[in-house]
Amino acid sequence: MNDAQRRVLDAAMAETPLVAILRGITPDEIEPVCHALVEAGFRLIEIPLNSPEPWVSIERAVACCPDDVLIGAGTVLDEDDTARLAELGAPLMITPNTEAELVALGAERGLAPMIGCMTPTEALAAVRAGAMALKLFPAARLGTGYFKDISAILPKGLPVLAVGGIDRSNMAEWHAVGIAGFGFGSNLYKPGRSAAEVGEVARELVAEWQRLAADQAGQQGGGA
């Protein structure tokens, strides 16, 4: 990442740490869906590499989104993919596993590795390899109690996003136990859903995050 992209990432993680996961999206859909997400307030967009023609979609997303939005790939499993992401200026590198060599290579190439993990061992391995954030998956099946248990051994200040089975209805319970953000998949986008529908869901998710953040700020201010 260049300095500008790092500032964008830091701002997004501080203000609206929500990742749109567009698994299955096609190049023809990408521009209207990205516009709908950006208008709703999303700043982090992931295009999984097992989508149809993912590199075409990533390139088009980078071209159509404003500078304060970061694009990247999900399901990154190949070292060559890290080089291609860096060339395209799409710094988000999101993987479903903690292959240390791959994580380290992504970090060396200036990407922002957000690494999928479930166990404490996987989480710590990802951190040592250079992860900038962790993706707890499958979050809904593991539950908030599990996250609270493993949080005790995770590095302080390292963002952990809940991914898998997360929607507006359960954001509050995860926020209450200190989760740093969320990744939204099929509840936000799935093949065949129109850009207008995606935008409507996206606005609801952003509004819920803002409500939770405001409530937390109010509680902290009231206790001061």
When pLDDT is averaged across residues 11-35 and rounded to a whole number, the result is 97
Residues 6 or more apart in contact with residue 145 via CB below 8 angstroms = none
**pLDDT at 217 (0 to 100):** 83
Does residue 224 register a pLDDT over 70?
A: no
User: Residues 148-183: pLDDT tens digits?
Assistant: 999 988 888 899 999 999 999 999 999 999 999 999
User: Which of 1, 188, 189 minimizes the C-alpha distance to 92?
Assistant: 1
When pLDDT is averaged across residues 127-134 and rounded to a whole number, the result is 95
Q: Which residues pair with 161 in a beta bridge?
A: 135, 181
Least confident of 60-69, 71-80, 212-221: 212-221
- Spatial distance between the Cα atoms of 184 and 195, rounded to a whole number of angstroms: 15
User: Residues 66-111: pLDDT tens digits?
Assistant: 999 999 999 999 999 999 999 999 999 999 989 999 999 999 999 9
User: Mean pLDDT over all residues of the chain?
Assistant: 95
Task: Phi first, then psi: give them for residue 21, nearest 5 degrees.
Answer: -105, 110
**pLDDT at 56 (0 to 100):** 98
Catalytic residue among 46, 87, 148, 204: 46
HEC secondary structure over the chain: CCHHHHHHHHHHHHHCCEEEECCCCCHHHHHHHHHHHHHHCCCEEEEECCCCCHHHHHHHHHHHCCCCCEEEEECCCCHHHHHHHHHHCCCEEEECCCCHHHHHHHHHCCCEEEEEECCHHHHHHHHHHCCCEEEECCHHHHCHHHHHHHHCCCCCCCCEEEECCCCHHHHHHHHHCCCCEEEECCCCCCCCCCHHHHHHHHHHHHHHHHHHHHHHHHHHHHCC
User: Residues 40-60: pLDDT tens digits?
Assistant: 999 999 999 999 999 999 999
Q: Which residues pair with 215 in a beta bridge?
A: none
Instruction: Answer whether the bond into residue 120 is a cis peptide, omega within 30°.
Output: no
Q: How confident is the model at residue 29 (pLDDT cuts 50, 70, 90)?
A: very high
Beta carbons of 151 and 178 less than 8 angstroms apart? yes
**pLDDT at 136 (0 to 100):** 96
Catalytic residue among 135, 156, 190, 208: 135
46 is catalytic: yes
**pLDDT at 222 (0 to 100):** 66
